[in-house]
Amino acid sequence: MTTTQAFSKRVNRGEQGFTLLECLISMVVLTVGLISLLAVLTVAMTATQTSGEDAIAKKLAQEAVESIYSARDTTNVTWSQIENVGSGGIFVAGLQAINQPGVDGIIGTADDSAALPQVMETAGNTGVYAGTCPPDNCTSLTNFQRSITIADVADPSNPGNPYGNLRQLTVTVQYTTPQFKLPKTYSLVSYISQYK
């Protein structure tokens, strides 16, 4: 065998190419990868589309907590009134529609049900906030509900005996989005003391 013939055999073995089975396996691997990428893209798009509602829910929960702190700090309410209605306080338990604060100016009390529904205003086409709808864009918050739960914090050394000056505030906002069939929730837990 000459050197040219040996070289020719090596070149021919290197140029054999892929078999049909190897091509099919690589296509399956590529298809699985593309389907996974598509699933991740779908999740990302859904999260992007619902991020507006998520931000609104967060702000509605913060608004309720700040309202309770402000009522305590301005002495509009007494310490004994910072409870749910069933415990002798003024805050309505359970999910409630998002309305403007009632006559007392405190979010989550019984007089809110007689107030107008709360809307979210954003600057209109001019980019300048006018304070009225139109020219501002107004978004109805009818797909949101808020619950305020107030509970005494128990003394860890004596679980049956709660602290008298510390309460836990749990504000839960439940809302629906077009992308999800089940409602989503956002909860904010805070603590309030009778001392400022």
pLDDT of residue 137: 78
Report residues of the chain scoring pLDDT below 50.
none
Q: Examine residue 156 and say whether the peptide bond preceding it is cis (omega within 30 degrees of 0).
A: no
Angle at 134 between CA 132 and CA 138, to 5 degrees: 80
pTM: 0.70
Find the radius of gyration of the CA atoms of the chain. 31
pLDDT of residue 100: 87
Under 8 Å between Cβ of 46 and 179: yes
The residue with tokens 């091509």 is 23
